[in-house]
Amino acid sequence: GQQLNQSPQSMFIQEGEDVSMNCTSSSIFNTWLWYKQDPGEGPVLLIALYKAGELTSNGRLTAQFGITRKDSFLNISASIPSDVGIYFCAGQLNAGKSTFGDGTTLTVKP
Amino acid sequence: KAGVTQTPRYLIKTRGQQVTLSCSPISGHRSVSWYQQTPGQGLQFLFEYFSETQRNKGNFPGRFSGRQFSNSRSEMNVSTLELGDSALYLCASSSSPAQGAGVYGYTFGSGTRLTVV
């Protein structure tokens, strides 16, 4: 089955720094999604990417859908303490089923 | 509008028992997906229901089953519980249509944390 490799597994950064994380797959996806999960809650959709090469921003977040359709990255600029959480990438080939990466745990030190 | 509601939030069961978890999707959403989240395995897709029919299925044993009602509410059942079934079970609903790929936002509930002892 499809598998996603998400890296890094964890990050410890200083407030104000930029963050970059990425996901790669051995097979293609039609859609890439990035989620953030806070403790005790379900994941919340941050950015959705619809086509290869697409670059999309949402405030301080920027994500790109790789041209090969096998990878995606998420950048967070000027990190703040509330950015703390677990970030997941997810790939979708067809509607109704997402394959998730293992997550990147982000810690922001004030 | 109200979000995705999962009940109960917490549950403790004994090995060998069965459990039923409930999910009420966002009004108007016909697609409901279930995921199992564990520290070691991350988010694993269980199954997805659309208009009372299972449309997609993950790689879980037959002990894991689900159903969807005409009002789109969904239940997930796990029979003969094992210690390894302890996890956070997440439900997500979507406005996905009957056919075609594309991005339809998935909204997750807060999950049901199941502990098997």
Residue B60 is predicted with a pLDDT of 95
pLDDT digits (tens, 9 = 90+) for A36-67: 999 889 999 999 898 899 999 999 999 999 99
Identify the band that residue A10 occupies on the pLDDT scale cut at 50, 70 and 90. Answer: very high
Separation in Å, CA of B116 to nearest CA in chain A: 18
**Does A91 contact chain B (CB < 8 Å)?**
no
The answer to whether A94 contacts B56, with C-beta atoms less than 8 Å apart, is yes
**Does A105 contact chain B (CB < 8 Å)?**
no
Give, as one character, the DSSP assignment of residue A82: G
Which chain A residue has the Cα nearest residue B111? A42
Residue B98 is predicted with a pLDDT of 55
- Backbone torsions φ then ψ of B111, nearest 5 degrees: 95, 160
Q: Are B3 and B45 in contact (CB under 8 A)?
A: no
Structure tokens at A108: 């922001």
pLDDT digits (tens, 9 = 90+) for B58-69: 999 999 999 999
Give the whole-angstrom CA distance, residue B8 versus residue B97.
Answer: 28
Residues of B in contact with A98 (CB under 8 A): 33, 45, 106
Q: Are A46 and A110 in contact (CB under 8 A)?
A: no
Separation in Å, CA of A110 to nearest CA in chain B: 26
Calculate the CA B93 to chain-centre distance: 10
Give the whole-angstrom CA distance, residue B4 versus residue B2.
Answer: 7
Q: Are B48 and B54 in contact (CB under 8 A)?
A: yes
Residue B87 is predicted with a pLDDT of 96
Residue A94 is predicted with a pLDDT of 74
